């Protein structure tokens, strides 16, 4: 794992508070399950029917039937519970998830999120993302700031199909951290060694800066 991803994961873990029920989205967010050991009474929820996800298993200790929503083998903490999809989505839609940490393909300056499909590519289904962005009390997105072509993924307006409109509370990228407020998108932190000018150079969206620029 490179230093940019290490920073993103460490920064995202800070969003998790003691006692929270947290859903970790497919992709990079699922790695956070390995870094919540110092949190008290945190329960990690997976929309495929598991409350109480533990760290990834060691090689040779995997149990093929114990998986997260991304079909990765996981462990379960003591006291974990298993349930069907209907119960899981009732939990999400009922507002019982304190925090959802999701991956993203694009985020707009209004806090719109596109993370479920790219037109023309096969998609097995939309998963639980649309339910999570409307049902979770707080939504944090973590993603790389630019795509493989060097184009900004932090947009004035999303070009990909939306998962939800004005649903993102905080965005963590490999360059910095943004909040979405009634006054607009605000840069609140940069990764160590990254300047505000560097963030602006790689950001299509318009944003304000409300900190001293010291990482």
Q: What is the per-residue pLDDT for 127?
A: 77
Token match 């533990």: residue? 54
Residue 47 designated active-site: yes
Selected catalytic residue, list 6, 15, 17, 47: 47
Mean pLDDT in residue range 156-168: 97
Q: Which letter, b or e, does each residue of 115-131 get, where b requires 16 or more Cβ atoms within 10 Å of its Cβ?
A: bbbeeeeeeeeebbbbb
Quote the pLDDT of residue 20.
97
41: number of Cβ within 10 Å: 8
- The model's pLDDT over 3-44, given as tens digits with 9 standing for 90+, comes to 999 999 999 999 999 999 999 998 899 999 999 988 999 999
**pLDDT tens profile 66-112:** 998 888 999 999 999 999 989 999 999 999 999 999 999 999 999 99
- 133 neighbors 94 (Cβ within 8 angstroms): no
CATH number of 3-174: 3.40.1080.10
Q: Whole-prediction pTM value?
A: 0.94
**Percentage of the residues of the chain whose pLDDT score is greater than 70:** 95
Domain boundaries defined on the chain: 3-174
């Amino acid at each position: 794992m490179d230093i940019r991803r290490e920073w993103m994961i460490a920064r995202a873990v800070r969003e998790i508070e003691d006692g929270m029920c947290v859903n970790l989205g497919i992709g990079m967010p699922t790695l956070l399950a390995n870094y919540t050991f110092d949190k008290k009474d945190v329960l990690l929820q997976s929309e495929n029917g598991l409350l109480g996800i533990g760290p990834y298993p060691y090689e040779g200790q995997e149990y093929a039937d114990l998986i997260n929503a991304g079909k990765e083998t996981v462990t379960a903490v003591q006291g974990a519970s298993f349930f069907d999809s209907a119960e899981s989505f009732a939990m999400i839609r009922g507002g019982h998830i304190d925090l959802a940490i999701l991956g993203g393909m694009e985020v707009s300056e209004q806090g719109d999120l596109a993370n479920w499909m790219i037109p023309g590519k096969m998609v097995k289904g939309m998963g639980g993302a649309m339910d999570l962005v409307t049902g979770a009390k707080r939504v944090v997105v973590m993603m790389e700031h630019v795509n493989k072509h060097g184009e900004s993924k932090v947009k004035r307006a999303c070009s990909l199909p939306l998962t939800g409109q004005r649903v993102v509370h905080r965005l963590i990228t490999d360059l910095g951290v943004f909040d979405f407020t009634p006054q607009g998108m605000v840069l609140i932190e940069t990764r160590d060694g990254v300047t505000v000018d560097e963030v602006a150079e790689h950001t299509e969206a318009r944003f304000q800066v409300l900190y001293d620029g010291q990482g």
